[in-house]
């Protein structure tokens, strides 16, 4: 069938066959179908959707457009963890070494920041010297040696997604459940783990703005993973305000190290209490969530989780000295404070806006290949619902210069309110496994 007929089919709300989808993906990766025709198909999918079968076929065609990693030489159940994105979301940085310390092999590939959300790989690169690209053999032998490796996605992993994602980014077709589900799951399936724990975020700081959409996204991702033979678990988490207090690459790594030392913010702990036990159960190391959390607490209090994080840094040529001396991280030359302009309660009204502040500071990408400043970011001194008095410091900005600090301050103040009435706390975390 010609590609125009495939576009017509979807434009008219009809179902694409497996063959249509395979022709689309192989033709696009081979450079035989131009961007303008693929853009038309993406928009038709955006407007008319895909059913579960089409979404599954699209995922598998994208996964099989490149290498499928074979992790069978690593013993044990390989568990992956993926977040659909958020602001200040340092869950992977904490959960992965904890799970590894409990015996769950963590062969983890992560992504870079996307839009207003941060990315684990950018954060990790703030550790001086650390390499996020290992060869396949180095990756596998590091997991066999120390139980944990964390690298960026290789260029051979789901290349169709790389091409499609870049096109979606510039054709207003990112926010579409079948396209998001197939994009994420193609990379997860290609990354070779046996089980996946999904952290599906919703709220003003997530791609899914409402809880119902996040449940729809979770449902289809679970369905795709199960059809591909994986053990799937999903945790729905609220992202209406940044997670923890640090937002920005090196600042978030410092917060993660503090958590591995046992000093964890209550909201981060709340998410960990659900995600880590799911990883332990999926990895066959715990029968119940209570047991999973007890083991996680032991891994932190004994120092084992921090030791694994240190070992990973060392193995990936980073400076493990950062764990005991945070001044070894890139340092922003300027720090400024933002004060409450009146008495009341802090309410974050636009969590994505707070993520945008980091981009304004140069800590996130505006163009795809841009270098970012890993030292900059925000340190929130209060959380939504906290009482503040006029003049209290509510935020510390880490900036490269005063112009950017001012712009970030302006954006931050647009993203919050100080209200007379305490805002309703809508933190909501639950699992969605069956
Ligand atoms: N993350 C991805 O990898 N793909 C999407 O489409 C959205 C978030």
d(CA 103, CA 36): 48
Q: Would you say 99 and 283 are in contact if contact means Cβ atoms under 8 Å apart?
A: yes
User: Among 158, 207, 352, 368, which is best to mutate for testing ligand 1, by the most ligand atoms less than 8 A from CB?
Assistant: 207
Paired sense of beta strands 430-431 and 195-202, if any: unpaired
Which phi and psi (to 5°) does residue 262 adopt? 100, 0
Q: What is the pLDDT of residue 57?
A: 98
What pLDDT is stored for residue 433 in this prediction? 66
* Residue 164 token pair: 């499609």
404 catalytically annotated: no
Ligand 1 atom 3 nearest Cα: 184
Residue among 122, 161, 231, 373 flagged as catalytic: 161
Ligand 1: residue whose CA is nearest its atom 5: 180
Ligand 1 midpoint to CA 184 (Å): 5
Cα 180 to middle of ligand 1, angstroms: 5
pLDDT of residue 303: 98
> Which residue out of 82, 87, 114, 158 has the highest number of ligand 1 atoms within 8 Å of its CB and is therefore the one to mutate?
114
Segments of the chain assigned to CATH 3.40.1030.10: 79-325
Q: How many Å apart are CA 399 and CA 363, to the nearest integer?
A: 9
Ligand 1 pocket: which of 45, 55, 85, 121 to mutate (most atoms within 8 A of CB) = 85
Q: Which CATH architecture has domain 79-325?
A: 3-Layer(aba) Sandwich (3.40)
**Which one is catalytic: 187, 233, 359, 381?**
187
- C-alpha of residue 344 to centroid of ligand 1, in Å: 37
Q: How far apart are CA 168 and CA 96, in angstroms?
A: 30
| Domain ranges in the chain with CATH number 1.20.970.10 | 3-49
Q: CB neighbours (10 Å) of residue 229?
A: 8
What is the location of CATH 3.90.1170.30 in the chain? Answer: 331-419
Return the closest-CA partner of residue 88 out of 110, 111, 112, 120.
120
Q: pTM for the complete prediction?
A: 0.93
Distance CA 114, CA 92 (A): 16
Would you state the pLDDT for residue 334? 98
Instruction: Tell which CATH classification among 1.10.10.10, 1.20.970.10, 3.90.420.10, 3.90.1150.10 matches the domain 3-49.
Output: 1.20.970.10
The per-residue pLDDT for 80 is: 95
Contacts of 324 (CB under 8 A, 6+ apart): none
Catalytic residue, candidates 10, 82, 112, 310: 82
Within 10 Å of residue 67's Cβ, how many Cβ atoms? 17
Q: How far apart are CA 155 and CA 421, in angstroms?
A: 50
CB atoms within 10 A of CB 171: 16
Domain 331-419: CATH class, spelled out: alpha beta
Closest CA to 181 of 109, 132, 232, 133: 232
Going from the C-alpha of 267 to that of each of 88, 89, 178, 271, 399, the distances in angstroms are 11, 11, 30, 7, 26
Q: Say how far apart CA 165 and CA 349 lie, in whole Å.
A: 28
Q: Judge whether 82 counts as a catalytic residue.
A: yes
With a 6 Å cutoff on the Cβ, whether 201 touches ligand 1 is no
Catalytic residue (choose from 9, 123, 168, 245): 168
Enter the tokens of residue 359.
Answer: 């981009």
| Ligand 1 center–CA 57 separation, angstroms | 17
Confirm or reject: Cβ of 183 under 6 Å from ligand 1. Answer: yes
* Pairing relationship of beta strands 148-152 and 106-110 according to DSSP bridges: parallel
Series of mean pLDDT values for 10-residue runs along the chain (434 residues): 95 98 98 97 98 98 97 96 94 98 96 84 96 95 97 92 90 92 97 96 93 95 97 95 97 98 97 96 97 98 98 98 98 98 97 96 82 96 97 98 98 98 81 69
pLDDT value of residue 427: 65
Asked if 321 and 157 count as a contact pair (C-beta separation under 8 A), the reply is no
């Amino acid at each position: 069938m010609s590609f125009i007929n495939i576009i017509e089919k979807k434009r008219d709300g009809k179902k694409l066959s497996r063959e249509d989808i395979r022709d689309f993906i192989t033709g696009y990766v081979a450079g035989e179908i131009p961007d303008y025709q693929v853009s038309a198909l993406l928009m038709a999918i955006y407007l008319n959707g895909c059913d579960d079968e089409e979404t599954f076929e699209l995922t598998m065609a994208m996964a099989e457009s490149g290498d499928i990693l074979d992790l069978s030489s690593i013993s044990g159940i390989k568990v992956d963890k993926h977040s659909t994105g958020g602001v200040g979301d340092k869950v992977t940085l904490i959960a992965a070494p904890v799970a590894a310390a409990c015996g769950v092999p963590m062969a983890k590939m992560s992504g870079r920041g996307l839009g207003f959300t941060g990315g684990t790989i950018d954060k990790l690169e703030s550790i001086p010297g650390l390499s996020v690209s290992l060869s396949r053999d180095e990756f596998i032998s590091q997991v066999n040696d120390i139980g944990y490796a964390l690298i960026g996605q290789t260029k051979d992993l789901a290349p169709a997604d790389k091409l499609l994602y870049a096109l979606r980014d510039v054709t207003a077709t990112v926010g579409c459940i079948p396209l998001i589900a197939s994009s994420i799951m193609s990379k997860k399936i290609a990354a070779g783990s046996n089980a996946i724990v999904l952290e599906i975020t919703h709220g003003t700081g997530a791609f899914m703005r409402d809880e119902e959409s996040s449940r729809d996204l979770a449902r289809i991702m679970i369905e795709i993973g199960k059809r591909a033979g994986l053990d799937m678990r999903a945790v729905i988490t609220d992202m209406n305000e940044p997670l923890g207090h640090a937002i920005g690459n090196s600042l978030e790594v410092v917060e993660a190290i503090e958590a591995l030392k046992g000093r964890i913010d209550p909201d981060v702990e709340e998410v960990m209490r659900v995600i880590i036990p799911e990883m332990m159960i999926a990895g066959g190391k715990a029968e119940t969530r209570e047991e999973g959390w007890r083991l996680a607490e032991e891994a932190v209090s004994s120092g084992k989780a921090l030791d694994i994080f240190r070992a990973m840094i060392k193995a990936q040529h980073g400076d493990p000295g950062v764990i005991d001396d945070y001044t070894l991280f890139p340092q922003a030359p300027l720090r400024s404070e933002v004060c409450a302009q009146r008495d009341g309660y802090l309410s974050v009204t636009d969590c994505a806006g707070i993520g945008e502040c980091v981009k304004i500071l140069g800590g996130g990408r505006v163009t795809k290949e841009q270098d970012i400043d890993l030292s900059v970011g925000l340190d929130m001194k209060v959380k939504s619902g906290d009482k503040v008095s006029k003049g209290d410091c509510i935020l510390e900005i880490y900036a490269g210069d005063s112009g950017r600090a001012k712009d970030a301050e302006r954006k931050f103040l647009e993203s919050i309110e100080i209200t007379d009435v305490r805002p309703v706390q809508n933190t909501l975390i639950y699992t969605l496994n069956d």
